[in-house]
Structure 1
Amino acid sequence: MPPPIATPRARALGFGMRRARQARNLKVRELGRMIDVPPQNISNWESGKRIPKVDELATILGALRVEPAERARLVELARTATEPNWLEQHAPPTATFVDYERTATDMFEWASGLVPGLLQTPAYMRAIFAATARPKQDIEKHVMIRLARRDVLRSHPPLEYQAVLGEAVLHQDIGDRSEMAEQLRHLLAASRARNVSVRILPERRGYHPGLYGPFVIFDFEDLPPIVYLEHYRSNGYVYHDDHLADYRAAKATLSALALSEHDSEQLIQGVITELED
């Protein structure tokens, strides 16, 4: 049986290879000529469709003068790239997650506690980061990165984005009342884009799979889908067909329980009115 293609680790490896190449302002063909490797091989490695051997990867990383820490990370990804699932020990979101957003065609997100990153206002972001006691300059850096992620919703073609939010998201005290009202107004404005759907799952709907925590399903044009699981200090990536089927079923259940887009808008507007009183 051939090894699985485009596993979470294989794609993270490919993203890292692409970033390293672009950091040197090299096209795929230029890098291919430099190391005497067919450009198609490099393209397949960068997409995760194929996995380079460790010695092939070492040649590329040497030519690109990749720093030792990043080189060690990518080599480890190459060695474990065929494993179907992955627990990444970092605080979310990572560069890998951002690359998934950038390369996906469709994205479904279940958010149970916070407004999703793609829909957050700068004030909401700052309130979250400030609660983690980050230095101010570090906070501003992360805010700019998160704001840049919104570009996927305005690209050509734009990412098709569906979000189902637990009603509790609307009632969190993130920032002051005016900042929370601003966030919810932005949520309404974003939801009116043709490629964006925001729906609210009311409280007291009984048991549903979303009670176990937030998740994201990424779909791609020519690669297998991937599920992202967000934890406090780590991220999980799920690739196995059986697990994917379970999360597809969870998506269907949450979508069935959620309010319509119109009723969700009315609910959000009602919370805004309460905050502004």
Structure 2
Amino acid sequence: MNRNTSKSIALGARLRNARKANKISQRALAEKIGVAHSLLSRNESGQRVPTRTEVIRILAPLELPDREREEILEMTEDPSGSPLAVIELPERRAQIAALVEIEQMAKEVVSWSPLIIPGLLQVSSYTRTIMEAVPVPHEEIATRVAVRMGRRDILTRRDPVRFTALIGEGVLHQTIGGPAVMAEQFDHLLMMSAHENVELRIVPTATGWHPGLCGSFQLIKCDGTSFVHLENPVSAVFVQESEAVAGFERSVPELLEVAMSPQESFELIAKEVRRTTGVA
């Protein structure tokens, strides 16, 4: 497994979460297992990939459910560092952990979402409606909704991520969750579009061919590294190979070329609010 990949970042996140669940600091754990504090720090950030033997040593003093311990150890068994890392259920939690970690490191995110509101702009009622409709285990829905709502923090924190949201016009005509949910969702879009770091653009349905017709994607730009996250309800893939990522990067200007301006997009969403609520 290579360092600074989605897999190494996911493994680091699981190690950090396990340590924090045991209420022990990095320094204290390092002293307990006899390693340098800086080593644990690099492991947890994904900058260094520990071996299976090292992970066993790290987890030894921690109290963890057997299933969680096994899941973490399984993450050390793929040394390939494949640039296309398909992660299916029941490994979904590791994939979500990787996405959260990468978004936290991001400087800029570009999302093309032709079918639904981008996750970083969803309200909880909209997210819950979707998760109740797709094959998400019922006992995981509340946690998944909370995680998605927590992800939005990158847009409003002190050093916010620059976010460009490209949304298909057809999304505005859907009634996911009913009129009340859609009205709440549209109000949130208008509110977020007022943030200086958020650019919201609607891509009209009546356009010619453009690369966005090949499917949705999320481009995540970090210092020195970029990722593309592709997802459906039951699986996901991180694209990390530089040439493949560059292909998605080239599609962004073409999408912006056919998109409405921020002001036109705002006015269209406001019109949908009036239509949905019946308030002129």
TM-score, scaled to structure 2: 0.88
The residue that corresponds to 1:86 in the other structure is: 85
Structure 2: distance between partners of 1:121 and 1:55: 42
In the TM superposition, residue 136 of structure 1 has moved relative to its aligned partner by 7.6
Q: Supply the RMSD in Å over aligned alpha carbons.
A: 2.3
The residue that corresponds to 2:58 in the other structure is: 60
Q: Which runs of 5+ in 1 are unaligned?
A: none
AA aligned opposite 1:74: I
The residue that corresponds to 1:77 in the other structure is: 75
Structure 1: distance between partners of 2:150 and 2:227: 22
Deviations 1:67-101 (A, max 9, x none): 33222322232232522220010369823322322
- Residues 175-214 of structure 1 aligned to structure 2 (within 5 Å): 175-214=177-216
Residue 145 (structure 1) aligned with residue 147 (structure 2): yes
The residue that corresponds to 1:41 in the other structure is: 39
The residue that corresponds to 1:105 in the other structure is: 107
AA aligned opposite 2:166: V
Tell me, what secondary structure is at the counterpart of 2:220?
strand
In the TM superposition, residue 237 of structure 1 has moved relative to its aligned partner by 0.6
AA aligned opposite 2:108: D
Structure 2: distance between partners of 1:232 and 1:129: 9
Tell me, what secondary structure is at the counterpart of 1:79?
coil
Q: Structure 1 residues 130 and 10, CA, compared in 2 at 3 Å: closer, same or farther? A: closer
Q: Which runs of 5+ in 2 are unaligned?
A: none
Work out whether residues 201 and 260 of structure 2, in 8 Å CA contact, stay in contact via their aligned partners in 1: yes
TM-score, scaled to structure 1: 0.89
How many residues align structurally? 274
Work out whether residues 10 and 48 of structure 1, in 8 Å CA contact, stay in contact via their aligned partners in 2: yes
Work out whether residues 106 and 218 of structure 1, in 8 Å CA contact, stay in contact via their aligned partners in 2: yes
In the TM superposition, residue 133 of structure 1 has moved relative to its aligned partner by 7.9
Deviations 1:29-53 (A, max 9, x none): 1111111111121111112121111
Tell me, what secondary structure is at the counterpart of 1:78?
coil
Moved more, 148-157 or 48-57: 148-157
Q: Report sequence identity in percent.
A: 33
Tell me, what secondary structure is at the counterpart of 2:75?
helix
In the TM superposition, residue 179 of structure 1 has moved relative to its aligned partner by 2.4
